[in-house]
A and B are shown apart, each in its own frame.
Chain A
Amino acid sequence: MRQAGRRGTALALGVALVATAVLASLALGARPVSLPDVVGALTDFDGSPDQIAVRSLRLPRTVVGLVVGLALGVAGAVMQGLTRNPVADPGLLGVSAGAALGLVVAVTLGGVTAVAGHIWFAFAGALVAAVTVYAVANRSRRSPITSLVLGGAAVSATLGSITSAVLVVDQEVLDQYRFWAVGSLVNRDIGVAAAILPFVGAGLLAAALCVRGLDALALGDDVARALGRNLAATRVLAGIAIVLLTGAAVAAAGPIAFIGLVIPHLVRPMVGSSHGWLLVASAVYAPALLVCADVLGRLLVRPGEVPAGVVTALLGAPFLIWLVRREHRPAAVAQPPPADGVRTVQSSADRRERAVG
């Protein structure tokens, strides 16, 4: 009972946080707008400069921020559950590197300059990269998660090298790329949110379907198998969820990867390690964090602004450091089984091999 009450409180707090963040995002910025005017802009539009700022500039970026934050938070929780590695980030599947290459290809070949045009190329790049990583990991029979992580690193590095080859040669592409690469919500119109929404929805569905499998995975491969879980199905579903969610988020806002890493750590003490609650709580707190970061970035250096990706990183880093220093045994911060998850999985596979051979 007490556990359920605490989870309810945590969720209610999260929803309140989202509402506050949205209001602040609509009201604050280079031109502060009063709350009645904000409400007026949404319900009773009169065309005043204040209301135009709210309706055509701040509302779209707030909506994009909510969708992107939601996607990143859930993807991060699924990723950490799948790999049992506390530092696993969705970017590990090669998604960010693929999206970056897609963007660079779009600008190089087509001279695409609008954000709306970038999205599809970036998303396609993210998909191709992740599918490659998955194909590689699937072909190796032993320790699939180690192969997944290492394969992701190798594919990211390969794609990254193609990207940097273009960037060092072509100044115009670099000029576009560098503003995407910081991760930002600037100049995103409502069409961007609409474009990624179907993919985010499908990703959320896949994440919901693999919740129980992830709970079983947390007990270790052998226990999960003994419980009758189909590990391969769980891994494929989790992979689909991560790729769709992260790919959509990166395509829309650039690599704002810190949220996927921090949010699961933040909500785990509040709702526990059960993945159902973890995913729901991540889905509430992550958008709040991203929108808050965007608002903060606007207020820090008025009338200029610090990109949201930089703010999340500067906020997230000290938070993560505080979190691991607070714990006496940092294993508690990590997922159960112990902290160095990748090698743990691997060495247990080693052990099995040697026991057999």
Chain B
Amino acid sequence: MAVIDSLRPARNRVSGRRRPGRRNVAVCGVLAVLLLVTVTVSLSVGDYPVPFTEVLHALVLPSWADLIVQELRLPRVLTGVAAGAAFGLAGAIFQAMVRNPLASPDLIGVTAGAGVGAVAAITLVGVSAAWVPVLALAGGGLTAALVYVLAWRRGLHVSRLVVIGVALGGTGFAAGALNSLTSLLVANAEITDAQEATVWLTGSLHGRDMEMAAGPLIALGVALPFLPAAARTLRSLSLGDDVAAGLGTRLGPSRLGLFVLGICLAATATAAVGAVNFVALGAPQIARRLTRSHVEPLVASALVGALVVTAADIVARRLFAPVELPVGVFTAAIGAPYLLWLLTRSGGVR
């Protein structure tokens, strides 16, 4: 019985591998168009509105709007797109690898480690602001490495990885060791530093320049050639460890590769924009329901992530203008109700 049970989905999924769903391609196309439109809108709106035609003009030819579009708005929009895509992709990789829809870089401790690094840089005296992303990157990377080393014992067992990640990082709702340290640092800081730390912990695109966009962009560029292989491995892993090994997947090396890929994406994105809420967790789940696939789709997740962050940034800049709120306030406000709606729609949950 159990054997038949485990073979039935296997056949479906393997046949799905040969014919990458037409629906997936269509969804990715629609998402890409939506993203381009949103980016154009984001470049156009602001305290000084620029018409759409002038935005497109300014991107390719010299224009009076060069200063506003290229110098002021393009860097932050590009940072948002890159970080959002990196969050979405990292989330999809972790959720598919761990086979748990709650898995996200939060769960592996990356966000919490980056948070300790960044909040320490902000609240402890004598560290200049330029060090915040550096310490965040170091904190996130070190935590991920620590989680991986601690979870390694006669092979890497996925559930051990998750429990250790939760122990160190918490789940984003519950305090782990590192999240508690962050709370303690915030509670003991000067109130102005505490406020700055809160903005970072919410996630913000304010004043991000091209150097900030570079981190996640490079990580995405490095990840791109590996994506087809990663998608294949993840589909195979989704059948369970034993079946995957039987299909010829080498569990140890492929998990390490996926882990490193996901960590690089999540850590660079977090260092660039702060601990943006919900994107890594929600984007793959939204993408999975849109494409109706069984494994979190990689490209669609990245596109949903970029779309959510870009749209949230427009709202964050314009809703209470001229007061600008951190983008992290709205990533959840936009993405979460949509996920809830997908969940309540009967037949939408699989």
A140 touches B (CB below 8 Å)? yes
Do A342 and B329 touch (CB < 8 A)? no
B343 contacts partner chain A, Cβ-Cβ < 8 Å: yes
- B154 CB-CB contact with A under 8 Å: yes
B176–A313 touching, CB < 8 Å: yes
Q: Which of A21-29, A60-68, A152-160, A230-238 contacts B (4 or more CB under 8 A)?
A: A152-160
Docked pose: A92 CA to B331 CA in angstroms: 19
> Is B175 a contact of A257 with CB atoms below 8 Å?
yes
- B186 — which chain A residues lie within 8 A by C-beta? 178, 181
Is B336 touching A158 in the complex (CB atoms < 8 A)? yes
CB within 8 Å: A-B pair count: 244
B74 within 8 A of A: no
Contact yes or no, A146 B184, CB < 8 A = no
Residues of B within 8 A of A136 (CB): 340, 343-344
In Å, the complex CA distance between A153 and B184 comes to: 24
A219 in contact (CB, < 8 A): no
B321 to chain A, nearest CB (A): 14
Q: Which residues of B contact A94 (CB under 8 A)?
A: 173
Contact yes or no, B98 A340, CB < 8 A: yes
Which residues from chain B contact A351 at a C-beta distance below 8 Å? 5, 8-9
Given contacts A161-B328, A165-B325, contact A342 B102 (CB under 8 A): yes
Q: Which of A4-12, A46-54, A279-287, A319-327 lies at the interface with chain B?
A: A319-327
Q: Is the CB of B180 within 8 A of A313?
A: yes
> Distance (Å) between the CB of A310 and the closest chain B CB?
4
Write out the residue numbers on chain A whose beta carbons fall within 8 Å of the beta carbon of B332.
154, 157-158, 160-161
Q: Which of A193-201, A210-218, A331-339 contacts B (4 or more CB under 8 A)?
A: A331-339
Chain B contact residues, CB within 8 Å of chain A: 5, 8-9, 12, 98-102, 107, 150-151, 153-154, 157-160, 162-164, 166-168, 170-177, 179-181, 183-184, 186-187, 191-192, 194-195, 198-199, 201-202, 277-278, 281-282, 285, 294, 323, 325-326, 328-333, 335-337, 339-340, 343-346, 348-350
Number of chain A residues whose Cβ lies closer than 8 Å to a Cβ of chain B: 83
B163, A320: Cβ atoms closer than 8 Å? yes
Given A161-B328, A164-B326, A174-B198, check contact A309 B180 (CB 8 Å).
yes
Check if A87 sits within 8 Å of B325, measured CB to CB: no
Beta-carbon contact of B12 and A354 below 8 Å = yes
> Which residue of chain A has its CB nearest to the CB of B192?
A171
| Chain A 247-260: CB-based contact to B (< 8 A → 1; otherwise 0) | 00000000111101
Asked, given contacts A136-B343, A258-B176, A324-B163, whether A147 binds B349 with beta carbons under 8 Å apart, the answer is yes
- Would you give 25 A-B contacts (Cβ < 8 Å), ordered by A? A85-B100, A87-B162, A89-B171, A92-B171, A97-B173, A141-B346, A142-B350, A143-B350, A150-B339, A157-B332, A162-B329, A164-B328, A168-B195, A183-B175, A313-B176, A317-B167, A320-B166, A320-B167, A325-B150, A330-B159, A330-B163, A339-B158, A340-B162, A342-B102, A351-B8
- Give chain A residues whose Cβ lies under 8 Å from the Cβ of B12: 354
Contact (Cβ within 8 A) B164 A91: no
A141-B346, A160-B332 given as contacts; is B325 within 8 A of A89 (CB)?
no
A44 CB–B CB distance under 8 Å: no
A92–B167 CA distance with the chains assembled, in angstroms: 15
Q: A87-B107, A153-B282, A310-B184 are in contact. List 19 more A-B contacts (CB 8 A).
A: A86-B163, A87-B163, A96-B173, A142-B350, A150-B101, A151-B343, A154-B335, A160-B332, A164-B202, A168-B325, A171-B191, A174-B195, A175-B194, A178-B187, A316-B167, A316-B177, A342-B102, A343-B100, A350-B350
Would you call A150 and B285 a contact (CB within 8 A)?
yes
Within 8 Å by CB of B282, from A142, A157, A167, lies A157
User: Shortest distance in angstroms between A282's beta carbon and chain B's nearest beta carbon?
Assistant: 16
Chain A residue at minimal CB-CB distance from B350? A350
Would A151 and B164 count as touching, CB distance under 8 A?
Answer: no
Give Cα distance in the complex from A3 to B179, angstroms.
Answer: 39
Q: Which residue of chain B has its CB nearest to the CB of A100?
A: B173
Q: How far is the CB of B100 from chain A (nearest CB, A)?
A: 5
Query: If the complex has contacts A87-B171, A157-B277, A157-B281, are A317 and B176 also in contact, measured as CB distance less than 8 A?
Result: yes
Scoring A residues 224 to 244 as 1 if CB is less than 8 Å from chain B, else 0, what string do you get?
A: 000000000000000000000
Q: How long is the Cα–Cα vector from A316 to B12 in the complex, in angstroms?
A: 42
